[in-house]
Amino acid sequence: MSTRTSPAPVQVPGAPVVPAAAPGAGRAVGRLALRQVRRSGLATLLVALALTATVAASFGALVADPATLTGLLAVAQNPAVRTLFGEPVALETAGGFTVWRSGTPVAVLVGAWAALATARTTRGQEEAGRWNLLLAGPVRLRTAVGRHLVAVAAVVTATGAAIAAALLLAGTPAAGAAVHGAGIAALGLFSAAVAALAAQVLGTRSAATGAAVAALGAGLLTRSVADGVPGWQGLRWASPFGLLELSRPYAQDRVLPVLLLLAAAAALAAVALVLAGRRDVGSGLLARSAHRRARTALLGSVEGFAVRRALRPLAGWSTGIGAYYLLIGTTAVALTEFLARDAAVSDLAGQAGFAALDSVRGFAATVFSLLPVPVGVFAAVRIAALVSAEPDRRLALLAAGPVGRVRLLGTEAAVSAAGLLALLTVAGFATWAGVAASGGGLTLPEALRGTWSTAPVALLCLGAAVLAAGWLPSATALVGSLPAVGGFLLQVLADSTGAPAWVREVSPFAHLALVPLEPAGTAAALVMTFVAVLLAVVGAAGYRRRDLLC
């Protein structure tokens, strides 16, 4: 009897030793990926769940007064309102009402989180050099990208399931709840896949994030145009938000649009994984030219460099906000004329929560009250970008020199403040242009006064972000967004549940006047601005004392 043995592998002298694949390497990377998104993902899930459950709970009070429901049904058919909230479907039911009022905000929240989290945990980690040692071992780049995609997919799937469960507990039909929850999850998966693909093509985290967010914004704008312009409804099939709307929960419960969205997400994710296996670590498929002329503008000082870093993000945010408010402006005249023709419908609309919409100034003031949310998030993200430069060791050499740390933070805060004022100005110009194009009577000074009057809430976000940068740097973006996002949700919850007046007063939105319909609240604006400055001062003190993140 003889035994057969395999020949020993031949080791070529000088050749690198390739380690054998560790059995649990992929699972370890998956656990790491889930750990990186668990906190922000849980926060997103809870916000989406709270908003859905609150709107569903408020339906009982709405149907208690038939006149209020009649007013809502009348106003919801107007193209201008459909541009904001989407096509009304089964509004006479709790499920249909909840999907109409909360579906778009929840979808935007989940989609934006999925895009940002995917870009941060893939291209962001790779750009910072944290994957170099990992990928030098048995883990391949394709495996790392795939595991991080699975982690984000797990969060958005859990969010969709939680939304469906909340609708079921509210007593809505199971089919509608399942379709809506699956649609929200599918949109999150699509957004994550777009971000993963952008991360393989583009060589920086900022570029990948910008491309993914731009794609999300274009989809939302396409859905708004399809709902607001007669005869353009077919555009919904070209938008992820339009496919979500075409599923028509609680009316027809269509599964095909959700399946198409899932198929698109799967195809984009597959392409991203294929591309991940065909590129070098640390680079994108679209490599930047190594022979381009040096661009040294605004590099001579800390202040100039802060302005340079903010220009591209500001341009992207300006484009999105400007396009949205231009569209809103073009629909203002159609809605106000509709309500002005029928006083009874106008009164019923006010009872349904659409007060002050019977004039162009009132309509503009109402949509301006939403502006602090995106502008405040912009300010928080800019301060978070400065904090993220610390663990990437991009501030170490600068901070070791003669530049004071308070100067670094103060410069970034000042540039962010200028940026948020620029965004408010863009929104004012865009709204005025849209109203003027449709024959409305809103003047440019009135539009600018309306947008600028919301600045104190955005400044609160900036102050909160600076505070977090000094004392809780890991949560800078979350804490900075809290005055705007949390304040807005608190106001919605208070209005929907009939909470005591003092609960509503906690929200900074409760102290915003409807400008230009009414005079600005000077006292409230001064108080909020003072609080923002105080938060920034306390944050600067903490930033000066703490060590740089590593």
Say if residue 260 is in the same domain as residue 340.
no
Say if residue 233 is in the same domain as residue 371.
no
Cis peptide upstream of residue 516 (ω within 30 degrees of 0): yes
Residue 290 lies in a domain: no
Q: What is the CB-side half-sphere exposure of residue 173 using CA atoms within 13 A? A: 12
Confidence (pLDDT) at 341: 62
Confidence (pLDDT) at 287: 63
Say if residue 224 is in the same domain as residue 169.
yes
Q: What is the pLDDT of residues 212-263, one digit of tens each?
A: 888 888 888 888 888 877 677 888 899 999 999 999 999 989 999 999 999 9
| Burial category of 278 from C-beta neighbours within 10 Å (exposed 0-12, middle 13-18, buried 19 and up) | exposed
Structural domain count of the chain:
2
Say if residue 271 is in the same domain as residue 357.
no
Which of 250, 283, 316 is the last residue in one of the domains? 283
Confidence (pLDDT) at 288: 60
Identity of the amino acid at 280: D
The residue ranges of the chain whose pLDDT is under 50 are: 1-12, 15-21, 351-352
Residue 315 lies in a domain: no
Say if residue 375 is in the same domain as residue 508.
yes
Say if residue 56 is in the same domain as residue 179.
yes
Confidence (pLDDT) at 20: 47
Say if residue 340 is in the same domain as residue 253.
no
Residue listed under structure tokens 């498929």? 285
Three-state secondary structure string covering 332-383: HHHHHHHHHHCHHHHHHHHHCCCCCCCCHHHHHHHHHCCCHHHHHHHHHHHH
Give the range of the structural domain holding residue 209, as residue numbers without chain letter.
26-283
Say if residue 279 is in the same domain as residue 356.
no
CA-wise closest residue to 248 among 86, 48, 108: 86
Say if residue 369 is in the same domain as residue 496.
yes
| Phi and psi torsions of 62, nearest 5° | -70, -45
For the record, the structure tokens of 202 come out as 């583009």
Confidence (pLDDT) at 17: 47
In the three-class reduction of DSSP (H, G, I as helix; E, B as strand; rest coil), residue 21 is classed as coil
CA-wise closest residue to 463 among 486, 452, 479: 479
Residue 145 lies in a domain: yes
- Give, for 118, the enclosing helix (H) or strand (E): helix 94-119
Say if residue 205 is in the same domain as residue 338.
no
- pLDDT above 70 as % of the chain: 85
Say if residue 369 is in the same domain as residue 256.
no
Residue 49 lies in a domain: yes
Residue 322 lies in a domain: no
Say if residue 103 is in the same domain as residue 44.
yes
Confidence (pLDDT) at 68: 64
Residue 320 lies in a domain: no
pTM of the model: 0.77
